[in-house]
Amino acid sequence: MTPDLALQAIGWLLDSDGQPAVAEWREVMAEHPEARPVRVVEQHRSGYVVADGPDNSFPVESLPEWQRAPSYKKGGTPPEQRAAVGDWVLIEDAIEKDQIVALLPRRSAIKRAAAGEHYKQQMIAANIDTVFVVCGLDADFNPRRIERYLLLIQGSGAEPVVVLTKADEATDVPGSLAALIELAAQDIPVRAVNARDPDSVAALKQWLQPGRTAVLVGSSGAGKSTLTNTLLGIERMKTNTVRESDARGRHTTTHRALIPLPTGACLIDTPGMRELKPTGEEDIAENFSDIEELADHCKFRDCKHLKEPGCAVRTAIEGGKLDPQRFANYLKLGDEVAGAADRLAHRRAENTDTKVAGKAPGKPGARAPGKGGSPVPNQRPHHGHGRD
Ligand SMILES: Nc1nc2c(ncn2[C@@H]2O[C@H](COP(=O)(O)OP(=O)(O)OP(=O)(O)O)[C@@H](O)[C@H]2O)c(=O)[nH]1
Ligand SMILES: [Zn+2]
* Separation of alpha carbons 285 and 366, rounded Å: 8
- Does residue 116 form part of some domain? no
Distance of CA 374 to the CA centre of its chain: 36
CB 139 within 8 A of CB 220: no
Is residue 83 very low, low, confident or very high in pLDDT (cuts 50, 70, 90)?
very high
Q: What is the pLDDT of residue 71?
A: 65
The pLDDT score that the predictor gives to residue 81 is 86
CB 196 near ligand 1, within 6 Å: yes
Ligand 2 centroid to Cα of residue 177, in Å, is: 27
What counts of helices (H) and strands (E) characterise the chain?
A: 12, 13
The string of pLDDT tens digits covering residues 311-348 is 999 999 999 999 998 999 999 899 889 988 888 888 77
In ligand 1, the atom with minimum distance to the C-alpha of 239 is 16
The predicted pLDDT at position 368 comes to 46
Does residue 101 sit within a domain? yes
Instruction: Indicate whether 86 pLDDT > 80.
Output: yes
Say whether both 219 and 341 belong to one domain.
no
- Give the whole-number percent of the chain exceeding pLDDT 90: 49
For the CA of 193, the nearest atom of ligand 1: 31
pLDDT at 91 over 90: yes
Does the CB atom of residue 222 touch ligand 1 within 6 A?
Answer: yes
Strands of the sheet containing 266-268, edge to edge, are 190-192, 159-165, 130-136, 213-217, 266-268, 258-260
34 band by pLDDT with thresholds 50, 70 and 90: very high
Tell me: do 149 and 258 sit in the same domain. Answer: yes
Domain that includes residue 318, residue range: 278-388
Q: 43-49: list long-range contacts, CB under 8 Å, 24+ apart.
A: 43/83, 43/84, 43/85, 47/97, 48/83, 48/89, 48/100
CA-proximal residue: ligand 1, atom 12 (nearest): 221
* pLDDT tops 80 at residue 273: no
pLDDT of residue 363: 41
**CATH number of 141's domain:** 3.40.50.300
Is residue 347 included in any domain, yes or no? yes
Cβ of 224 closer than 6 Å to ligand 1, yes or no, is: yes
Residue whose Cα lies nearest atom 9 of ligand 1: it is: 223
Q: Is the CB of 229 under 6 A from ligand 1?
A: no
> How far is residue 349's CA from residue 309's CA, in Å, rounded to a whole number?
38
What is the spatial distance between Cα 181 and Cα 200, in angstroms, rounded to a whole number? 21
- Above 0.95 for ipTM, yes or no? yes
Instruction: Please tell me what DSSP assigns to residue 360.
Output: P
pLDDT computed for residue 190 by the predictor: 96
Do residues 214 and 294 share a domain?
no
Q: Computed over its alpha carbons, how large is the radius of gyration of the chain?
A: 23
- Nearest ligand, CA 163: 1
Is the domain of 130 the same as that of 266? yes
Please report, in range form, the residues annotated as the binding site for GTP: 165-168, 218-226
With a 6 Å cutoff on the Cβ, whether 133 touches ligand 1 is: no
More confident residue, 375 or 140: 140
CATH number for the domain spanning 47: value is 2.40.50.140
Residues 101 and 174 in one domain: no
Q: What pLDDT score does 382 carry? A: 42
Identify whether residues 157 and 264 lie together within a single domain: yes
In total, how many domains does the chain have?
Answer: 3
Same structural domain for residues 388 and 358? yes
- Claim to verify: residue 262 and residue 139 sit in the same structural domain: yes
Q: pLDDT of 227-239, one tens digit each?
A: 999 999 865 444 4
Please indicate, yes or no, whether residues 364 and 340 belong to a single structural domain of this protein. Answer: yes
- Please tell me the residue having the least CA distance from ligand 1 atom 2: 166
Residues making up the annotated binding site for Zn(2+) are 298, 303, 305, 311
Strand residue runs (E) in 179-299: 190-192, 213-217, 258-260, 266-268
Longest dimension (CA), the chain: 73
pLDDT for 388: 37
Do 171 and 133 fall within a single domain?
yes
pLDDT-derived band at 372, boundaries 50, 70, 90: very low
Q: How far is the CA of 140 from the centre of ligand 1 (A)?
A: 11
Pocket test for ligand 1, best of 226, 236, 241, 270 (most atoms within 8 A of CB): 226
Confidence of residue 192 (pLDDT cuts 50, 70, 90): very high
Q: What is the mean pLDDT of residues 94-122?
A: 86
Q: For residue 118, how far is the Cα from the chain centroid?
A: 21
Establish if 120 belongs to a structural domain: no
Residue 2: its pLDDT value, please?
86
> pLDDT digit string (tens) for 124-164?
899 999 999 999 999 889 999 999 999 989 889 999 999 99
The CA dihedral of 144, 313, 305, 190, to the nearest 10 degrees, is 10
Residue 248 belongs to some domain of the structure: no
* DSSP, residue by residue, 283-302: -HHHHTHHHHHHHTTSSBTT
- Among all bound ligands, the one having the nearest atom to the CA of 273 is 1
Residues 12-23: what's their mean pLDDT? 91
Phi, psi of 215 (to 5 degrees): -130, 145
| Residue 355 to residue 7: CA distance in whole angstroms | 48
d(CA 248, ligand 1 centre) in Å: 31
Task: Indicate whether 334 and 364 sit together in one domain.
Answer: yes
Residue type, 135: C
CATH of residue 284: 1.10.40.50
> Is the CB of 135 within 6 Å of ligand 1?
no
Residue 117 in domain: no
Q: Which ligand is in closest contact with the Cα of 192?
A: 1
Burial class (CB in 10 A: 0-12, 13-18, 19+), 121: buried
Average pLDDT value for the chain: 82
Between these two residues, 76 and 370, which has the higher pLDDT value?
Answer: 76
Residue 384 has pLDDT above 80, yes or no: no
Identify the band that residue 95 occupies on the pLDDT scale cut at 50, 70 and 90: confident
* 147 Cα: distance to centroid of ligand 1 (angstroms): 21
Tell me, in angstroms, the distance from the centre of ligand 1 to residue 14's CA: 35
